[in-house]
A and B are shown apart, each in its own frame.
Chain A
């Protein structure tokens, strides 16, 4: 009766439960529960003091060890593990006999947590149909919005060449020249050599900060007129003239584009709702007495 294998029931069907049943802690708890019930009956019975360590138990020890350390234990290690398991079992029985599981915060917290996991695993959210997915997407549209992006070319004027004031003046002169030549959308040669690129596509606000520092240019990029030269704007590196060639306003992508994310979020939401509902059903079974504070 009181062998380790005897008190652990065979795993029932169902993936969630099966996974849970692989957890050594559950064995611990189930074993505890069964032994506790059995303990009342077994008092005075020889089984209370009978422990079987057979092939199955040793195999389990080997498997656990290998999972943690990547190789099988040596015979000496296995011996030590078995000794340890034996002591654990004996202490465990003695502890249960003394009801030590009763007011232990850790046991309590673990049980609560385990119950929570069990609850979640038992609840399988229903796949949404098209209408449900669309309704969910509409209700949470902001989460899927894409930021504004701009494509642009720039001309760079470095303060290294002649100083800050001169760099800005050179930029102003170049701007005049560019405005006199309509149709020119790219002119890096009018300025100094830049350490990164001259043409960027699809830059959003976060990219801009990363590229040019927290600067006037990073801000201006999204306010500058499209299809004409403007500036000069200061970046963390110097002065720039800008030609914004294309803009994508912040936009709401159609559901088709973000379907996978929406789908995952929907299921997550359903799971959370499922948890809440399950708790509500449990709560309804209980009679809660609220006492006035003394």
Chain B
């Protein structure tokens, strides 16, 4: 029965693929589609062992499509469907630990299975991690291959079976879990363009990204196109955007080319913090202190701030490009949940611990669990016994926006490839960002300005074309609109990173402000938008801020000799953080050392300017 309905599903999906070109509406000027590119289900060893997650990839896709799925003893349903989702289970020993469900299974009876026994949680997880991050290549006395192969097939089937061209796109994907020395997070998610995929690469094969790229390149040669997206880099200990390769040698031209080719995007924000920048890296950016998570994942050791944040990486890329001729860190951005519950949500009020595996849509955790989630543990004391990490430091799910002609696999994948993407900390903010040398001053007043913007310039993720001799500075067409179900906009900013001499610099420009505010003419500082949040009820009103902001901006400090990166940051007005909502709903005091309100935001992929070779 199971199989026949699966076959019918596959047949439908196939006929859907065949009709995609004819039936799916196409907008050549592209639409913003929203999705999650990082989600774990029961087949990830940590989701299963740490959290007891039982949601399968098929259920994860169904939930994201807006269908109800069973969770604990009831049904849960997403508030509104996502447009796309990729389930990215850890490829190492994928599906193997689920064998523990059956005490008679060969794995349960194996050495590791015996050791785990009925214990779950962080204690056993730490021991098991060695079989994932590559300290131990093999589970002793147990051949995992048949299980990992059949689990991978299930992942592929779930992705293909839930793909509805025009409505909901899925991508076959997995996470390669490289963690050198068991400390530094160098994970990458791998996404396939097609409806078939070779066996996944694992960190047991190698924990060096260079080897992952070899896998990607050889598959590409065989017709299987895929790309890798580095995990949120904050917990990488500075290795994600390092000056050096995995062997400790300075990055060379070949490394730079291969990285740019295989990793055109990076995660900028997700459950385990936001990696745009750090207050210590950007002391002049008053909004830099946002959902900062600056420790390594396991233990209490601090992560290096250098080489772990996106803005810093953009500067490093310019430096490397100057000497190598290629920019290894020329990447766009995506946002994700990285939840381990199988249920992807992105609003603050639907979040109650993506790691915690708590029902994200309906019932908040009971008072005891809520109290535990909202407390920061004194140093040296064990934190959450499930994860070893302070729950309060986690953020709600982030989103990826992709500008694509239609909601289909090729269109969404190609948007990722050309970096025409943006990320948000959760809301469905919508924004366009174009750069050009010759946009007319009244461009944005035209009814078909988007068509003109594409024709005469480049969208987010692109390179400014060669500068005409007559052009003084690049012009940027900027347009942002709020999420219809979320808060108003505070402002739009352009973040510029450029090279002056051998050093990279950064500056944040306020380019569009709500409420008719003007920067102070002495300090240049913009007055705060205000705060309507009622901390007693954890609610806000849209009586401040704007519905929509737009501007045509030119860089007033442009120097044609300096390479530069420009990206957009769009800020909402303050709204309650998930921890505030949870505290109010549970009748608990607000957590003392965590911001009660936050300004949700979006980040565009950049537009690059490269001076001509002299």
A158 touches B3 (CB 8 A): no
A69 on the interface (CB 8 Å rule)?
Answer: yes
Bitwise interface map of B from 107 to 145 toward A, beta carbon under 8 Å scored 1, else 0: 000000000000000000000000000000000000000
B102 on the interface (CB 8 Å rule)?
Answer: yes
Q: Which of A151-168 contact B (CB under 8 A)?
A: 158-160, 164
Q: Which residue of A lies closest to B223 (CB)?
A: A70
Closest beta carbon of chain B to A233's beta carbon, Å? 13
Known contacts: A116-B3, A117-B3. The answer to whether A235 contacts B198 by CB under 8 A is: no
B455 on the interface (CB 8 Å rule)?
Answer: no
A212 on the interface (CB 8 Å rule)?
Answer: yes
B1 touches A236 (CB 8 A): no
List chain A residues, Cβ under 8 A from B485: 213-214, 236
Bitwise interface map of B from 147 to 182 toward A, beta carbon under 8 Å scored 1, else 0: 001000000000000000000000000000000000
Known contacts: A70-B198, A264-B8. The answer to whether A158 contacts B15 by CB under 8 A is: no
CB < 8 Å A-B pair total: 77
List chain A residues, Cβ under 8 A from B483: 213, 236
Q: Which of B1-44 contact A (CB under 8 A)?
A: 1-5, 8, 11-12, 15
B369 on the interface (CB 8 Å rule)?
Answer: no
A275 touches B1 (CB 8 A): yes
Q: Which of A88-116 contact B (CB under 8 A)?
A: 103-106, 116
List chain B residues, Cβ under 8 A from A70: 198, 218-219, 222
B484 touches A236 (CB 8 A): yes
A106 touches B102 (CB 8 A): yes
| Of the residues B218, B481, B543, contact of A195 by C-beta under 8 Å | B481
B534 on the interface (CB 8 Å rule)?
Answer: no
List chain B residues, Cβ under 8 A from A158: 547-548
Q: Which residue of A lies closest to B66 (CB)?
A: A206
Known contacts: A69-B199, A195-B481, A260-B15. The answer to whether A237 contacts B548 by CB under 8 A is: yes
Q: How large is the interface on A (under 10, 10 to 19, 20 to 34, 35 or more residues)?
A: 35 or more
Q: Whole-angstrom distance between the alpha carbons of A238 and B548 in the complex?
A: 11
Q: Which residue of A lies closest to B8 (CB)?
A: A268
Closest beta carbon of chain B to A235's beta carbon, Å? 6
A215 touches B484 (CB 8 A): yes
List chain B residues, Cβ under 8 A from A209: 80
Q: Whole-angstrom distance between the alpha carbons of A265 and B7 in the complex?
A: 11
B546 on the interface (CB 8 Å rule)?
Answer: yes
A104 touches B104 (CB 8 A): yes
List chain B residues, Cβ under 8 A from A210: 80
B4 touches A268 (CB 8 A): yes
Known contacts: A69-B199, A106-B105. The answer to whether A237 contacts B4 by CB under 8 A is: no
A272 touches B1 (CB 8 A): yes
Q: Whole-angstrom distance between the alpha carbons of A68 and B222 in the complex?
A: 13
Q: Whole-angstrom distance between the alpha carbons of A39 and B8 in the complex?
A: 42
Q: Whole-angstrom distance between the alpha carbons of A104 and B546 in the complex?
A: 65
Bitwise interface map of A from 128 to 172 toward B, beta carbon under 8 Å scored 1, else 0: 000000000000000000000000000000111000100000000
List chain A residues, Cβ under 8 A from B8: 264-265, 267-268
A160 touches B546 (CB 8 A): yes
Q: Whole-angstrom distance between the alpha carbons of A68 and B148 in the complex?
A: 12
Q: Whole-angstrom distance between the alpha carbons of A100 and B181 in the complex?
A: 40
| Of the residues A120, A160, A195, A211, contact of B4 by C-beta under 8 Å | A120
A237 touches B482 (CB 8 A): yes
List chain B residues, Cβ under 8 A from A267: 8
List chain B residues, Cβ under 8 A from A159: 542, 547
Q: Whole-angstrom distance between the alpha carbons of A15 and B309 in the complex?
A: 56
Bitwise interface map of B from 473 to 514 toward A, beta carbon under 8 Å scored 1, else 0: 000000101111110000000000000000000000000001
List chain A residues, Cβ under 8 A from B561: none
B72 on the interface (CB 8 Å rule)?
Answer: no
Q: Whole-angstrom distance between the alpha carbons of A204 and B201 in the complex?
A: 43
Closest beta carbon of chain B to A237's beta carbon, Å? 5
B198 touches A106 (CB 8 A): no
B199 touches A68 (CB 8 A): yes
Q: Which residue of B lies closest to A272 (CB)?
A: B1
List chain B residues, Cβ under 8 A from A275: 1, 4
Bitwise interface map of B from 525 to 566 toward A, beta carbon under 8 Å scored 1, else 0: 000000000000000001100111000000000000000000
Most chain A CB inside 10 Å of its own CB: which residue of B1, B149, B218, B481: B1
B367 on the interface (CB 8 Å rule)?
Answer: no
A27 on the interface (CB 8 Å rule)?
Answer: no
A271 on the interface (CB 8 Å rule)?
Answer: yes
Closest beta carbon of chain A to B304's beta carbon, Å? 37
Q: Which of B415-430 contact A (CB under 8 A)?
A: 430
Bitwise interface map of A from 47 to 71 toward B, beta carbon under 8 Å scored 1, else 0: 0000000000000000000001110
Q: Whole-angstrom distance between the alpha carbons of A210 and B83 in the complex?
A: 11
List chain B residues, Cβ under 8 A from A212: 484
List chain B residues, Cβ under 8 A from A68: 149, 198-199
Bitwise interface map of A from 235 to 261 toward B, beta carbon under 8 Å scored 1, else 0: 111100000000000000000000011
Q: Which of A194-223 contact B (CB under 8 A)?
A: 195, 209-215
List chain B residues, Cβ under 8 A from A117: 3
Q: Whole-angstrom distance between the alpha carbons of A195 and B550 in the complex?
A: 10
Q: Which residue of B lies closest to A195 (CB)?
A: B481
Q: Whole-angstrom distance between the alpha carbons of A120 and B479 in the complex?
A: 56
Closest beta carbon of chain B to A147's beta carbon, Å? 13
List chain A residues, Cβ under 8 A from B2: 116
Q: Which residue of B lies closest to A167 (CB)?
A: B547
A264 touches B199 (CB 8 A): no
A: which residues have CB within 8 A of B?
68-70, 103-106, 116-117, 120, 158-160, 164, 195, 209-215, 235-238, 260-261, 264-265, 267-268, 271-272, 275
What 7 A-B pairs come out closest when comparing CB atoms? Answer: A236-B484, A213-B484, A105-B104, A271-B4, A268-B8, A213-B485, A195-B481
New contact pairs (6) apart from A210-B80, A236-B486, A272-B4, CB-CB < 8 Å: A104-B106, A164-B543, A237-B481, A260-B15, A265-B8, A268-B5
